[in-house]
Amino acid sequence: MLSEFDLIARYFTRPLRPGSAATLGVGDDCALLAPAAGMQLAISTDMLVEGRHFFAGADPALLGHKCLAVNLSDLAAMGARPLAFTLALALPAADEAWLAPFAQGMFALADLHGCELVGGDTTRGPLTVSITVFGEVPKEQALRRSNARVGDDIWVSGTLGEARLALAALAGELALDAASLAAAAPCLHAPAPRVALGLALRGVASAAIDISDGLAGDLGHILKQSGVGAVVDIDGLPAGPTLALQPPALQRAYCIAGGDDYELCFTAAPERRADVLAAARASATPVSRIGVIEAAPGLRLVDAAGRPCQLPMTSFDHFASP
Ligand code: ADP
Ligand code: MG
């Protein structure tokens, strides 16, 4: 059996890349980061617990990817460039057949974003992965939740609901043919964080959030923190290609409140539409305009005919009463 320190040395210690913002990585009491002049550090933590955020026995390579992806998604939502991350890992056993693919999946995504693993903690316990990411964003340019203005357009990146559709099929909540499940599952297991879009939206978007808990709930955070309300066309939401083949009621529910989408919801003044579309092109990320910010608080949903409609399902909350 590997010792704790052999495990860290073998799977989680790599030389720092030249030009890294980290000046000291794994191996000392702390890592050292040197953010560039004029930059603020953006810091976020997301923890994934077996049986809660992922199924027991989940593919370790996909899990390594996803644990970092959900954290990078928070940097994206802030308009921050990834610099480094730490990894706190509770493992039931030092199983190399699990550790090798987990590290490989995680580092493949880290390398794609130039994000350096600089430290962490390793302990025995129920499988839990907690990552803290560090990014940088120029002072005054972070995409806060609190800055949406009355009259702003509301936008969302990519498509919605595929992850929730795959989860429902895997949990036996609905029947999905094998080809459809294979098409939807990558959205659940291997989301691509919208880092490039977040960077391109600096100075363009007024507010942004990632919609990991579902569009209605997460847009609700923007509305509350900005002291505004919104109207959203529920039939105009960009359903993912597999979800688009499902009954309309399911499309609505999973688009507005599915969760696990890792897309960005953001607001921008209508005068900035051309700039939003340029940011989308520059980052090769599709975006859709889904609604408008209004003064009256709360989220109002309308259907294709403009009739008010109810929220079909609520967003995710770990401590909500059943
Ligand atoms: P300390 O006792 O000072 O907290 P540890 O013995 O926990 O240090 O860790 C030794 C070194 O290994 C530290 O630099 C720590 O950041 C790093 N480390 C521990 N676990 C991990 C991990 N899972 N991934 C990356 N680095 C780790
Ligand atoms: Mg420690």
Question: Are 214 and 88 in a shared domain?
Answer: no
pLDDT over threshold 80, residue 30? yes
In this structure, what token pair is assigned to residue 242?
A: 């597999």
End-to-end CA distance of the chain: 42
State if residue 24 touches ligand 1 by the CB under 6 angstroms criterion: no
Contact 181, 278 (CB under 8 A): no
Closest ligand to 87 CA? 1
Question: Are 124 and 157 in a shared domain?
Answer: no
Q: Which of 138, 171, 202 is the last residue of a domain?
A: 138
Which segment of 44-48, 54-58, 125-129, 205-209 scores lowest on mean pLDDT?
54-58
Calculate the CA dihedral of residues 176, 182, 187, 191 and round it to 10 degrees.
160
The protein residue with its alpha carbon nearest to ligand 1, atom 21, reads 120
Name the nearest CA neighbour of 187 among 214, 217, 164.
164
Question: Are 68 and 103 in a shared domain?
Answer: yes
Describe the chain by its helix, strand, coil percentages, rounded to 5: 35, 25, 35
Span from the CA of 31 to the centroid of ligand 1 (angstroms): 10
pLDDT over threshold 70, residue 246? yes
**Binding site as annotated, residues for Mg(2+):** 29, 44-46, 74, 121, 210, 213
121 CA: nearest ligand 1 atom: 20
| 317 domain-assigned | no
Question: Are 118 and 204 in a shared domain?
Answer: no
In this structure, what token pair is assigned to residue 38?
A: 């004029």
Q: How deeply is 22 buried, as exposed, middle or buried, from its count of CB atoms within 10 A (0-12, 13-18, 19+)?
A: buried
Question: Are 18 and 70 in a shared domain?
Answer: yes
What domain count does the chain have?
2
27 CA: nearest ligand 1 atom: 14
Closest ligand to 119 CA? 1
What's the rounded mean pLDDT across residues 68-91? 98
Span from the CA of 13 to the centroid of ligand 2 (angstroms): 15
**Binding site as annotated, residues:** 29, 44-46, 53, 74, 120-121, 145, 210, 212-213, 260, 316
Question: Are 120 and 40 in a shared domain?
Answer: yes
| 318 domain-assigned | no
| 319 domain-assigned | no
* pTM score, whole prediction: 0.95
State if residue 117 touches ligand 1 by the CB under 6 angstroms criterion: yes
- Please tell me the predicted confidence (pLDDT) of residue 321: 53
Question: Are 161 and 246 in a shared domain?
Answer: yes
| 315 domain-assigned | no
Question: Are 34 and 166 in a shared domain?
Answer: no
- Tracing tokens 């109002």 back to the chain, one arrives at 300
Name the nearest CA neighbour of 91 among 130, 53, 46, 128.
128
State if residue 173 touches ligand 1 by the CB under 6 angstroms criterion: no
The per-residue DSSP string of 58-107 comes to --HHHHHHHHHHHHHHHHHHHTPEEEEEEEEEEESS--HHHHHHHHHHHH
What distances in angstroms separate CA 203 from CA 44, 172, 207, 293, one per listed residue?
A: 21, 44, 10, 18
Q: Which domain holds residue 110?
A: 4-138
Question: Are 81 and 178 in a shared domain?
Answer: no
Calculate the CA dihedral of residues 219, 224, 227, 229 and round it to 10 degrees.
50
pLDDT in tens, 164-188: 999 999 999 999 999 999 999 999 9
The protein residue with its alpha carbon nearest to ligand 1, atom 2, reads 29
89 CA: nearest ligand 1 atom: 23
Question: Are 134 and 182 in a shared domain?
Answer: no
At 76, which CATH number?
A: 3.30.1330.10
pLDDT in tens, 257-314: 999 999 999 999 999 999 999 999 999 999 999 999 999 999 999 999 999 998 877 6
| 73 domain-assigned | yes
At 206, which CATH number?
A: 3.90.650.10
State if residue 255 touches ligand 1 by the CB under 6 angstroms criterion: no
Question: Are 124 and 178 in a shared domain?
Answer: no
| 88 domain-assigned | yes
Mutation choice for ligand 1 from 48, 99, 122, 133, CB with most ligand atoms inside 8 A: 122
Q: Which of 93, 114, 138 is the last residue of a domain?
A: 138
Contact 290, 232 (CB under 8 A): yes
Question: Are 44 and 92 in a shared domain?
Answer: yes
pLDDT over threshold 50, residue 141? yes
pLDDT over threshold 90, residue 50? yes
Span from the CA of 119 to the centroid of ligand 2 (angstroms): 9
| 239 domain-assigned | yes
- Please tell me the predicted confidence (pLDDT) of residue 320: 62
| 316 domain-assigned | no
- Please tell me the predicted confidence (pLDDT) of residue 322: 45
Span from the CA of 265 to the centroid of ligand 1 (angstroms): 35
- Give the chain's mean pLDDT: 95
pLDDT in tens, 183-238: 999 999 999 999 999 999 999 999 999 999 999 999 999 999 999 999 999 999 99
- Please tell me the predicted confidence (pLDDT) of residue 113: 97
Span from the CA of 166 to the centroid of ligand 2 (angstroms): 36
Q: Which residue has the higher pLDDT, 255 or 35?
A: 255
- Please tell me the predicted confidence (pLDDT) of residue 206: 98
- Work out the number of other CB atoms within 10 angstroms of the CB of residue 321: 4
How far is Cα 49 from Cα 130, in angstroms, rounded to an integer? 8
Task: Give strand ranges (E) for the chain.
Answer: 22-24, 32-33, 39-49, 81-91, 116-124, 128-138, 153-157, 207-210, 229-233, 264-268, 287-294, 298-302, 308-309
Q: Which of 138, 166, 191 is the last residue of a domain?
A: 138
CB under 8 Å to 90, separation ≥6 — which residues?
123, 124, 125, 126, 127, 128, 129
What's the rounded mean pLDDT across residues 18-31? 94
Span from the CA of 80 to the centroid of ligand 1 (angstroms): 25
**Binding site as annotated, residues for substrate:** 53, 260, 316
Span from the CA of 148 to the centroid of ligand 2 (angstroms): 40
